[in-house]
Amino acid sequence: MQFPTVIPNIFDGIPESLPTEHFQTLITTHNVQIERIVSDGHATPVDSWYDQAWDEWVLLLSGSAGIVFETEEHERELKPGDYLLIPSGCRHRVAWTDPHERTVWLAVHIGHIRTDT
């Protein structure tokens, strides 16, 4: 195995303009995918839900966000350093992300590899 000559930084290469959320796959193995997600005031439409067939562990690195789970009455607010596991089949959506600071997420998809990014 050859090691990279340059050590990447999670905050490098973020596009200046983000008309939509930016998804970047960092690492993929046979059953795990790690990606960086960058939001800039983005949210999931109110009538839409993510309903994934795999577990997803997310860590908020910068900015802030609100997550809503279909089974809960109130949203959960995330700030830098907060993380949570979203089990497969748990319907959820992003209620809001910080409109004044880029929200950078590290997402680890466990048990399924996304093909739509």
| pLDDT single digits (tens) 4-38 | 788 889 999 999 999 999 999 999 988 999 999 99
**pLDDT score for 115:** 58
The contacts of residue 60 (CB under 8 Å, 6+ apart) are: 78, 79, 80, 81, 82, 83, 103, 104, 105
Nearest-angstrom CA–CA distance, 94 and 33? 20
Q: Are 27 and 4 in contact (CB under 8 A)?
A: no
The architecture CATH gives domain 22-110? Sandwich (2.60)
Residue 117 scores a pLDDT above 60: no
pTM attached to this predicted model: 0.86
Q: Are 109 and 58 in contact (CB under 8 A)?
A: no
What are the pLDDT digits (tens) for 80-112? 999 999 999 999 999 999 999 999 999 999 996
Opening angle at CA 56, ends 52 and 3, nearest 5 = 125
pLDDT category at 113 given cuts 50, 70, 90 is low
